[in-house]
Copies of this chain bind each other. A is one copy, B any other.
Protein backbone atom coordinates (compact mmCIF):
# COMPACT_ATOMS: atom_id res chain seq x y z
CA UNK A 1 0.00 0.00 0.00
CA UNK A 2 2.89 2.29 0.76
CA UNK A 3 5.70 2.63 -1.73
CA UNK A 4 7.93 4.68 0.54
CA UNK A 5 8.80 1.99 3.07
CA UNK A 6 10.93 2.92 6.06
CA UNK A 7 14.39 1.54 6.79
CA UNK A 8 14.14 -1.16 9.45
CA UNK A 9 17.06 -2.57 11.44
CA UNK A 10 16.08 -6.22 11.85
CA UNK A 11 19.05 -8.53 11.34
CA UNK A 12 22.83 -8.19 11.47
CA UNK A 13 22.91 -10.14 8.18
CA UNK A 14 21.42 -7.11 6.40
CA UNK A 15 24.45 -4.92 7.06
CA UNK A 16 27.39 -4.68 4.71
CA UNK A 17 30.85 -3.21 5.24
CA UNK A 18 30.07 0.25 3.79
CA UNK A 19 26.99 0.49 6.02
CA UNK A 20 29.01 -0.47 9.11
CA UNK A 21 31.74 2.02 8.24
CA UNK A 22 29.15 4.74 7.70
CA UNK A 23 27.52 4.08 11.10
CA UNK A 24 30.95 4.14 12.73
CA UNK A 25 31.69 7.47 11.06
CA UNK A 26 28.36 8.86 12.30
CA UNK A 27 29.19 7.59 15.78
CA UNK A 28 32.54 9.39 15.75
CA UNK A 29 30.79 12.63 14.79
CA UNK A 30 28.18 12.22 17.52
CA UNK A 31 30.90 11.64 20.11
CA UNK A 32 32.66 14.79 18.93
CA UNK A 33 29.43 16.77 19.34
CA UNK A 34 29.11 15.27 22.82
CA UNK A 35 32.20 17.13 23.98
CA UNK A 36 30.54 20.56 24.33
CA UNK A 37 27.22 21.92 25.52
CA UNK A 38 26.68 23.50 22.10
CA UNK A 39 27.26 20.16 20.41
CA UNK A 40 24.95 18.36 22.82
CA UNK A 41 22.22 20.97 22.36
CA UNK A 42 22.59 20.61 18.58
CA UNK A 43 22.10 16.85 18.92
CA UNK A 44 19.14 17.33 21.23
CA UNK A 45 17.45 19.58 18.67
CA UNK A 46 17.89 17.14 15.79
CA UNK A 47 14.89 14.94 16.52
CA UNK A 48 13.12 16.97 19.18
CA UNK A 49 9.97 16.79 17.06
CA UNK A 50 9.95 12.99 17.03
CA UNK A 51 8.60 10.32 19.38
CA UNK A 52 9.76 6.73 19.83
CA UNK A 53 8.31 3.73 21.60
CA UNK A 54 10.52 1.33 23.52
CA UNK A 55 8.58 -1.92 23.26
CA UNK A 56 10.54 -4.24 25.58
CA UNK A 57 8.48 -7.31 26.39
CA UNK A 58 11.65 -9.28 27.13
CA UNK A 59 13.36 -7.79 30.18
CA UNK A 60 16.66 -6.04 29.49
CA UNK A 61 17.62 -3.18 31.74
CA UNK A 62 20.91 -2.53 30.02
CA UNK A 63 19.75 -2.46 26.40
CA UNK A 64 16.65 -0.52 27.40
CA UNK A 65 18.67 2.21 29.11
CA UNK A 66 21.17 2.32 26.28
CA UNK A 67 18.42 2.95 23.72
CA UNK A 68 16.51 5.35 25.97
CA UNK A 69 19.67 7.39 26.49
CA UNK A 70 20.33 7.36 22.74
CA UNK A 71 16.83 8.77 22.20
CA UNK A 72 17.36 11.40 24.90
CA UNK A 73 20.66 12.47 23.31
CA UNK A 74 18.74 13.18 20.09
CA UNK A 75 15.83 14.91 21.84
CA UNK A 76 13.36 12.13 20.99
CA UNK A 77 10.48 11.79 23.46
CA UNK A 78 9.95 8.17 24.46
CA UNK A 79 7.11 6.02 25.68
CA UNK A 80 7.47 2.46 26.81
CA UNK A 81 5.82 -0.96 27.03
CA UNK A 82 7.67 -3.20 29.48
CA UNK A 83 5.02 -5.77 30.30
CA UNK A 84 4.23 -8.55 27.88
CA UNK A 85 0.56 -8.51 28.81
CA UNK A 86 -0.61 -4.96 28.19
CA UNK A 87 -4.20 -4.22 29.04
CA UNK A 88 -5.28 -4.22 25.39
CA UNK A 89 -3.86 -7.68 24.86
CA UNK A 90 -5.75 -8.80 27.92
CA UNK A 91 -8.86 -7.43 26.22
CA UNK A 92 -8.27 -9.85 23.34
CA UNK A 93 -6.45 -7.60 20.88
CA UNK A 94 -4.09 -9.18 18.35
CA UNK A 95 -0.37 -8.34 18.48
CA UNK A 96 -0.65 -6.72 15.05
CA UNK A 97 -3.45 -4.43 16.22
CA UNK A 98 -1.53 -3.52 19.39
CA UNK A 99 1.61 -2.63 17.50
CA UNK A 100 -0.33 -0.71 14.87
CA UNK A 101 -1.94 1.25 17.70
CA UNK A 102 1.41 2.02 19.25
CA UNK A 103 2.84 2.95 15.87
CA UNK A 104 0.06 5.50 15.40
CA UNK A 105 1.46 7.57 18.30
CA UNK A 106 5.15 7.49 17.40
CA UNK A 107 7.73 7.80 14.64
CA UNK A 108 9.89 4.81 15.57
CA UNK A 109 9.48 1.53 17.46
CA UNK A 110 12.43 -0.10 19.19
CA UNK A 111 11.50 -3.71 19.95
CA UNK A 112 12.88 -6.37 22.22
CA UNK A 113 10.88 -9.57 22.40
CA UNK A 114 11.49 -13.19 23.34
CA UNK A 115 9.97 -14.31 20.02
CA UNK A 116 12.33 -14.98 17.08
CA UNK A 117 11.03 -13.31 13.92
CA UNK A 118 8.46 -11.14 15.70
CA UNK A 119 10.12 -7.85 14.70
CA UNK A 120 10.20 -8.92 11.06
CA UNK A 121 6.55 -9.90 11.16
CA UNK A 122 5.49 -6.58 12.67
CA UNK A 123 7.67 -4.58 10.30
CA UNK A 124 6.09 -6.36 7.34
CA UNK A 125 2.61 -5.83 8.74
CA UNK A 126 3.15 -2.10 9.33
CA UNK A 127 4.67 -1.71 5.88
CA UNK A 128 1.20 -2.56 4.50
CA UNK A 129 -0.45 0.37 6.31
CA UNK A 130 -0.68 3.98 5.18
CA UNK A 131 1.66 5.14 7.98
CA UNK A 132 4.46 2.63 8.51
CA UNK A 133 7.20 3.50 11.01
CA UNK A 134 10.71 2.08 11.20
CA UNK A 135 11.39 -0.84 13.55
CA UNK A 136 14.72 -1.41 15.28
CA UNK A 137 15.30 -4.91 16.65
CA UNK A 138 16.79 -4.57 20.14
CA UNK A 139 17.09 -8.32 20.61
CA UNK A 140 14.69 -11.07 19.57
CA UNK A 141 15.14 -14.02 21.91
CA UNK A 142 18.17 -16.21 21.10
CA UNK A 143 17.77 -15.06 17.52
CA UNK A 144 19.16 -11.65 16.59
CA UNK A 145 20.62 -8.59 18.33
CA UNK A 146 21.87 -6.49 15.43
CA UNK A 147 22.68 -3.30 17.35
CA UNK A 148 24.97 -5.26 19.69
CA UNK A 149 26.94 -6.37 16.65
CA UNK A 150 27.27 -2.77 15.44
CA UNK A 151 28.59 -1.54 18.78
CA UNK A 152 31.08 -4.40 18.86
CA UNK A 153 32.35 -3.53 15.39
CA UNK A 154 32.59 0.14 16.38
CA UNK A 155 34.59 -0.72 19.49
CA UNK A 156 36.97 -2.83 17.43
CA UNK A 157 37.36 -0.13 14.75
CA UNK A 158 38.16 2.48 17.42
CA UNK A 159 40.57 0.19 19.22
CA UNK A 160 42.44 -0.72 16.01
CA UNK A 161 42.35 2.84 14.63
CA UNK A 162 46.12 3.26 14.74
CA UNK A 163 46.98 -0.35 14.00
CA UNK A 164 45.41 -0.85 10.60
CA UNK A 165 41.79 -1.52 11.49
CA UNK A 166 39.99 -4.84 11.68
CA UNK A 167 41.55 -6.29 8.52
CA UNK A 168 44.20 -8.92 9.21
CA UNK A 169 43.45 -9.35 12.88
CA UNK A 170 43.00 -12.51 14.95
CA UNK A 171 39.94 -12.66 17.19
CA UNK A 172 39.43 -15.04 20.06
CA UNK A 173 35.85 -15.73 21.15
CA UNK A 174 35.43 -17.46 24.46
CA UNK A 175 32.67 -19.07 26.51
CA UNK A 176 29.17 -20.21 25.66
CA UNK A 177 29.46 -19.94 21.89
CA UNK A 178 26.48 -22.18 21.27
CA UNK A 179 23.82 -19.90 22.70
CA UNK A 180 25.46 -16.47 22.50
CA UNK A 181 23.76 -14.52 19.73
CA UNK A 182 26.39 -11.82 20.20
CA UNK A 183 29.09 -14.22 19.01
CA UNK A 184 26.98 -15.27 16.06
CA UNK A 185 26.26 -11.76 14.79
CA UNK A 186 29.77 -10.44 15.37
CA UNK A 187 31.36 -13.41 13.59
CA UNK A 188 29.20 -12.82 10.54
CA UNK A 189 30.06 -9.13 10.43
CA UNK A 190 33.77 -9.85 10.80
CA UNK A 191 33.55 -11.93 7.64
CA UNK A 192 33.11 -8.67 5.66
CA UNK A 193 36.68 -7.71 6.52
CA UNK A 194 39.90 -9.01 4.92
CA UNK A 195 42.27 -11.67 6.28
CA UNK A 196 40.39 -12.07 9.53
CA UNK A 197 40.87 -15.16 11.68
CA UNK A 198 38.61 -16.29 14.53
CA UNK A 199 39.61 -18.74 17.25
CA UNK A 200 36.53 -20.14 18.98
CA UNK A 201 37.62 -21.30 22.44
CA UNK A 202 35.05 -23.15 24.52
CA UNK A 203 34.15 -26.37 26.29
CA UNK A 204 33.19 -28.94 23.63
CA UNK A 205 29.51 -28.69 24.56
CA UNK A 206 29.45 -24.91 24.01
CA UNK A 207 30.82 -24.91 20.46
CA UNK A 208 29.23 -22.75 17.78
CA UNK A 209 26.20 -24.32 16.16
CA UNK A 210 26.05 -25.95 12.75
CA UNK A 211 24.15 -23.06 11.16
CA UNK A 212 26.85 -20.53 12.03
CA UNK A 213 29.63 -22.91 11.03
CA UNK A 214 27.94 -23.37 7.70
CA UNK A 215 27.62 -19.64 7.09
CA UNK A 216 31.24 -19.04 8.06
CA UNK A 217 32.45 -21.82 5.77
CA UNK A 218 30.80 -20.03 2.87
CA UNK A 219 32.62 -16.74 3.67
CA UNK A 220 36.26 -15.79 3.28
CA UNK A 221 37.02 -15.70 7.00
CA UNK A 222 39.29 -18.36 8.53
CA UNK A 223 38.28 -19.96 11.82
CA UNK A 224 39.29 -22.73 14.16
CA UNK A 225 37.54 -24.36 17.10
CA UNK A 226 39.53 -25.36 20.12
CA UNK A 227 39.17 -26.50 23.69
CA UNK A 228 42.41 -24.64 24.51
CA UNK A 229 42.31 -21.31 26.26
CA UNK A 230 45.58 -20.17 27.90
CA UNK A 231 47.59 -21.59 25.04
CA UNK A 232 45.79 -19.39 22.53
CA UNK A 233 45.72 -16.13 24.49
CA UNK A 234 49.11 -14.87 23.21
CA UNK A 235 47.97 -15.03 19.57
CA UNK A 236 44.86 -12.90 19.90
CA UNK A 237 44.57 -9.26 18.80
CA UNK A 238 41.18 -9.14 20.49
CA UNK A 239 39.54 -11.43 23.04
CA UNK A 240 35.76 -11.48 23.23
CA UNK A 241 34.66 -13.04 26.52
CA UNK A 242 31.05 -14.18 27.06
CA UNK A 243 28.88 -15.36 29.88
CA UNK A 244 27.21 -18.78 30.14
CA UNK A 245 23.65 -18.13 28.95
CA UNK A 246 21.96 -20.44 31.43
CA UNK A 247 18.64 -18.61 31.02
CA UNK A 248 18.34 -20.65 27.81
CA UNK A 249 18.91 -24.01 29.55
CA UNK A 250 16.37 -26.48 28.24
CA UNK A 251 17.08 -28.96 31.03
CA UNK A 252 17.47 -27.82 34.62
CA UNK A 253 21.13 -27.82 35.63
CA UNK A 254 22.29 -28.21 32.02
CA UNK A 255 24.86 -25.41 32.31
CA UNK A 256 25.90 -26.21 35.86
CA UNK A 257 27.03 -29.65 34.66
CA UNK A 258 29.57 -28.15 32.26
CA UNK A 259 32.89 -26.98 33.69
CA UNK A 260 33.65 -23.57 32.19
CA UNK A 261 36.18 -22.52 34.80
CA UNK A 262 39.12 -23.05 32.46
CA UNK A 263 37.66 -20.36 30.17
CA UNK A 264 37.85 -17.53 32.71
CA UNK A 265 40.11 -14.59 32.01
CA UNK A 266 41.98 -13.79 35.21
CA UNK A 267 44.33 -11.03 36.24
CA UNK A 268 47.17 -13.54 36.05
CA UNK A 269 46.53 -14.01 32.33
CA UNK A 270 47.28 -10.40 31.49
CA UNK A 271 50.99 -11.08 31.13
CA UNK A 272 50.23 -13.61 28.39
CA UNK A 273 48.34 -11.14 26.20
CA UNK A 274 49.71 -9.01 23.39
CA UNK A 275 50.53 -5.54 24.63
CA UNK A 276 47.74 -3.96 22.55
CA UNK A 277 45.25 -6.80 22.86
CA UNK A 278 41.65 -5.59 23.04
CA UNK A 279 39.56 -7.22 25.80
CA UNK A 280 35.81 -7.11 25.24
CA UNK A 281 32.68 -8.49 26.91
CA UNK A 282 29.03 -7.71 26.13
CA UNK A 283 28.27 -7.57 29.88
CA UNK A 284 26.78 -8.43 32.33
CA UNK A 285 29.65 -10.61 33.46
CA UNK A 286 30.04 -13.17 36.16
CA UNK A 287 33.23 -14.98 37.11
CA UNK A 288 34.51 -15.37 33.54
CA UNK A 289 36.10 -11.90 33.54
CA UNK A 290 38.10 -10.80 36.57
CA UNK A 291 37.15 -7.36 37.94
CA UNK A 292 40.82 -6.71 38.63
CA UNK A 293 41.34 -6.47 34.88
CA UNK A 294 39.11 -3.37 34.71
CA UNK A 295 41.94 -0.96 35.32
CA UNK A 296 44.22 -2.48 32.66
CA UNK A 297 44.36 -0.22 29.57
CA UNK A 298 43.55 -3.22 27.36
CA UNK A 299 40.14 -3.63 29.00
CA UNK A 300 37.67 -2.01 26.58
CA UNK A 301 34.38 -3.46 27.80
CA UNK A 302 33.29 -0.38 29.72
CA UNK A 303 33.90 1.77 26.65
CA UNK A 304 32.11 -0.89 24.63
CA UNK A 305 29.12 -0.42 26.95
CA UNK A 306 29.07 3.34 26.42
CA UNK A 307 29.72 2.89 22.68
CA UNK A 308 26.40 1.04 22.59
CA UNK A 309 24.61 4.26 23.40
CA UNK A 310 26.49 6.22 20.74
CA UNK A 311 26.16 3.66 17.95
CA UNK A 312 22.44 3.32 18.69
CA UNK A 313 22.08 7.09 18.45
CA UNK A 314 23.89 6.93 15.11
CA UNK A 315 21.58 4.18 13.83
CA UNK A 316 18.54 6.19 14.89
CA UNK A 317 19.71 9.28 12.98
CA UNK A 318 20.09 7.07 9.91
CA UNK A 319 16.70 5.41 10.31
CA UNK A 320 14.94 8.76 10.87
CA UNK A 321 16.79 10.43 8.01
CA UNK A 322 18.82 13.09 9.83
CA UNK A 323 22.20 11.37 9.54
CA UNK A 324 23.45 13.96 7.07
CA UNK A 325 22.92 16.68 9.67
CA UNK A 326 25.43 14.88 11.89
CA UNK A 327 28.10 15.07 9.21
CA UNK A 328 27.71 18.77 8.36
CA UNK A 329 31.23 20.19 7.96
CA UNK A 330 30.59 23.38 9.92
CA UNK A 331 30.20 21.53 13.18
Residues of chain A touching chain B, judged by Cβ–Cβ distance below 8 Å, are: 1, 37, 40-41, 44, 48-49, 51, 53, 59-62, 65-66, 68-69, 72-73, 77, 79, 81, 86-88, 90-94, 96-98, 100-102, 104-106, 129, 131, 243, 247, 283-286, 291, 294-295, 302, 305-306, 309
Contact = CB atoms under 8 A, between A and B. Distances in A.
A88 B61 contact: yes
Nearest to A129: B302
Contacts of A41: 48-49
B51 A104 contact: no
B65 A102 contact: yes
A38 to B, nearest CB: 9
Given A61-B86, A92-B286, A93-B284, A51 B79 contact: no
Contacts of A101: 62, 65, 283-284, 305
Provide the main secondary structure of the chain A interface. helix
Contact of A69 (B51, B94, B294): B51
| 6 nearest A-B residue pairs (beta carbon) | A40-B49, A93-B284, A72-B77, A59-B87, A69-B105, A61-B86
Query: Which of A72, A91, A286 has the most chain B CB atoms closer than 10 A to its own CB?
Result: A91
B306 A104 contact: yes
Contacts of A51: 69, 72-73
12 contacts: A41-B48, A60-B87, A61-B81, A61-B86, A68-B79, A88-B283, A91-B286, A93-B283, A93-B285, A97-B285, A98-B284, A105-B306
Contacts of A90: 59
A105 B309 contact: yes
